[in-house]
Amino acid sequence: MVALESAYRDRYPDLLRVATAITGSAESGRDAVHDAFVDLIRARESYRRNGHLEAWAWAAVVNAARKQARRRGSLPLEEEALVRSSTNGEQDGRHGAVRAAIARLPERQRLALFLRYYADLDYASIAEALGIAPGTVAAALHAAHETLRQTLRGVEKND
């Protein structure tokens, strides 16, 4: 319980950021983090001591956020993000294109990207959080980077 509380308090801004990115809304992100830790407290007896507690917590937050996103019926980065990009002036094209590209990424690539950039998790932790092999994380991130770099290059050319 103490370790869970520490994970929550120490990492809350990052947990919220990832959950917000997945759900597309800060309010849904807060709900997702909240629900995830409620579930974690209840299930703490079943926590495997050989696993990393933080990765276990990340897995719960990612799952809760995906649930919230499904409940909202929205794709990540869609609603407020795209609306904001259309009123932002100079960077509209670049931001809008990247947002749209991220929204189109396969879910695994998108989740790996969020955990890497918004939580600064290493490959092993991302793998544990998503329940996939570290090699798969590397491949997913590589593919996501390629897609997004191409998008950025395309926008710069058009400018």
Partner 1 sequence: MTERDRDLAVVLDEFFPRRNEERGDWDGVVADAGSRWPRVLALKPRRIALALAIFGVLVTLAVVPALAVSKGWWFLTYDGAVEPSGPVVVAINPRADDPWTLVAFLTNSLNGSTELCYSWTPSNEDVGGGAMGCGPSAAALGEPNLPDLGATFATTSGVAYGPATLDVATVEAALGDGSTVQARIVTAPKALGAPLRFYIARFPAEESVTKIIGRNSEGRVIGTITVPHWTKPPQDS
- Catalog residues that contact partner 1 under the rule CB under 8 A: 1, 5, 8-9, 12-17, 20-21, 26-27, 30, 33-34, 37-38, 41-42, 77, 81, 91, 94-95, 98-99, 113, 116-118, 122-123, 138, 141-142, 145, 148-149, 152
Burial of 134 (0-12, 13-18, 19+ CB in 10 A): middle
Using the minimum distance from each CB to partner 1, give the nearer residue, 55 or 121. 121
Q: Shortest gap between Cβ of 50 and partner 1 (angstroms)?
A: 22
96 residue type, one letter:
G
- The owner of tokens 């649930």 is 67
Rounded to whole angstroms, the Cα distance separating 85 from 74 reads 17
Q: Shortest gap between Cβ of 73 and partner 1 (angstroms)?
A: 19
Using the minimum distance from each CB to partner 1, give the nearer residue, 12 or 51. 12
Nearest to 129 by CA among 40, 44, 45, 53: 53
Nearest to 71 by CA among 25, 120, 133, 131: 25
Q: Shortest gap between Cβ of 152 and partner 1 (angstroms)?
A: 6
Using the minimum distance from each CB to partner 1, give the nearer residue, 26 or 133. 26
Using the minimum distance from each CB to partner 1, give the nearer residue, 113 or 129. 113
Q: Shortest gap between Cβ of 17 and partner 1 (angstroms)?
A: 5
CA 40 to chain centre: 18
Q: Shortest gap between Cβ of 39 and partner 1 (angstroms)?
A: 8
Using the minimum distance from each CB to partner 1, give the nearer residue, 15 or 62. 15
Note whether 6 and 40 are within 8 A (CB).
no
